[in-house]
């Protein structure tokens, strides 16, 4: 084979490779769009947040949870110093005991006075006692009856005071308001915290949603209650069912961290797709994900195409 022939062959091969590369590149960057009736978008998984705070100021004496821990509703997260309130609890308990003793004594006295009054009233009917003596006995019974009512009221006040201080003591034990994962811990052992200051931030793993941004030109097709499917890199072959639960009422400029295939899109609407379930809590906040929203029910589902 002559040199010129070899050169022609080489040039043909180079041209063929270049043609294949161009074709592959075009197919890669110009994938077939989704069928009419489906909308695709991407974003990050987020969740409903619970800020955990104490109703009362105090010093943190024990921390039982930290960032990244999975907690259940009602689980103890921290304890504040309750030495002072414990003294008030004991004082209130003693007051309840004393009030109950007075109430019992007043009840015994009232019952005896009632029996005496009934006996004198029977004797009065038989004219065995004077009217004056019967009236004195009746008056004595009414006095003991009033004393019993006052003793019962005082006992109720004492019990209410005990319940109040016990409630305060219970509130010094900080518990998780919902099941989820602790994303932030804002206090350390020994630190004095103010009333209402946040101690933990919890994300509910059973209330996760994917927040995406839909272009203005197609937002009219998105409605509350539409079904969607969420795809993640961690589970590429396992889409998660979701439902459109929130659509922003006002448009905003495309956030910088969101990549859109159409660079001309400037105005978008925030949309939240709440996951119907999160089995085994396999998904967590912060994961990037793609979604396909179906706005026409008779259209077959398709995977995202970017």
Q: 124 and 103 share a domain?
A: yes
CA distance 268 to 265: 8
| Structure tokens given for 219 | 């937002």
| pTM of the predicted model as reported, rounded to 2 decimal places | 0.64
Q: 71 and 129 share a domain?
A: no
Predicted confidence (pLDDT) per residue in 189-241, tens digit: 999 999 999 999 999 988 899 999 999 999 999 999 999 999 998 888 899 99
pLDDT at 34: 86
Residue 247 resides in a domain: no
Q: 98 and 146 share a domain?
A: yes
pLDDT at 43: 94
pLDDT at 135: 87
Q: 161 and 93 share a domain?
A: yes
The number of distinct structural domains making up the chain is 2
pLDDT at 15: 58
Q: 105 and 177 share a domain?
A: no
Range of the domain at 61: 50-82+173-200
pLDDT at 60: 96
pLDDT at 264: 45
Q: 124 and 163 share a domain?
A: yes
pLDDT at 263: 47
3-state secondary structure 62-117: EECCCCCCEECCCCEEEEECCHHHHHHHHHHHHHHHHHHHHHHHHHHHHHHHHHHH
Q: For tokens 């949309």, what's the residue? A: 271
Long-range CB contacts (within 8 A, 24+) of 244-249: 244/271, 244/272, 244/273, 244/293, 245/209, 245/272, 245/273, 245/274, 246/209, 246/270, 246/271, 246/272, 247/219, 247/222, 247/223, 247/271
Parts of the chain with a pLDDT under 50 = 23-30, 263-264
Residue 42 resides in a domain: no
Residue 284 resides in a domain: no
Q: 100 and 89 share a domain?
A: yes
Q: 107 and 164 share a domain?
A: yes
Q: What whole-number percentage of the chain has pLDDT above 90?
A: 63
Residue 217 resides in a domain: no
Query: Which of 122, 154, 170 finishes a domain?
Result: 170
Q: 103 and 144 share a domain?
A: yes
Q: 133 and 195 share a domain?
A: no
Residue 34 resides in a domain: no
CATH number of the domain that residue 77 is part of: 2.40.50.100
Q: 116 and 143 share a domain?
A: yes
């Amino acid at each position: 084979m002559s040199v010129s022939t070899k050169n022609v062959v080489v040039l043909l091969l180079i041209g063929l490779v270049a043609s294949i590369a161009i074709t592959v590149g075009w197919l890669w960057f110009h994938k077939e769009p989704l069928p009419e009736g489906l909308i695709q978008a991407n974003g990050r998984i987020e969740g409903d947040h619970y800020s955990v705070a104490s109703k009362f100021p105090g010093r943190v004496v024990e921390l039982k949870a930290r960032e990244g821990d999975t907690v259940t509703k009602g689980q103890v997260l921290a304890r504040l110093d309750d030495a002072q309130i414990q003294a008030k609890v004991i004082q209130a308990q003693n007051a309840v005991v004393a009030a109950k003793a007075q109430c019992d004594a007043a009840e015994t006295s009232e019952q005896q006075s009632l029996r005496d009054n009934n006996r004198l009233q029977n004797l009065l009917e038989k004219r065995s006692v004077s009217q004056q003596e019967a009236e004195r006995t009746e008056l004595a019974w009414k006095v003991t009856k009033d004393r019993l009512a006052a003793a019962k009221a005082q006992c109720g006040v004492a019990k209410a005071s005990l319940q109040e201080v016990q409630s305060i003591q219970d509130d010094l034990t900080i518990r998780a308001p919902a099941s989820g994962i602790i994303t932030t811990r804002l206090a350390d052992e020994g630190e004095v915290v103010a009333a209402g200051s946040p101690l933990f931030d919890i994300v509910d793993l059973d209330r996760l949603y994917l927040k995406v941004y839909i272009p203005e030109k197609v937002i009219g097709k998105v409605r509350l209650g539409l079904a969607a499917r969420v795809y993640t890199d961690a589970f590429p072959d396992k889409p998660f069912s979701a439902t459109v639960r929130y659509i922003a009422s006002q448009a905003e400029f495309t956030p910088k961290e969101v990549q859109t295939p159409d660079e001309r899109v400037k105005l978008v609407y925030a949309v939240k797709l709440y996951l119907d379930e999160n089995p085994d809590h396999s998904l967590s906040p912060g994961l990037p994900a793609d979604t396909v929203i179906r706005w026409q029910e008779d259209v077959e589902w398709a995977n995202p195409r970017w």
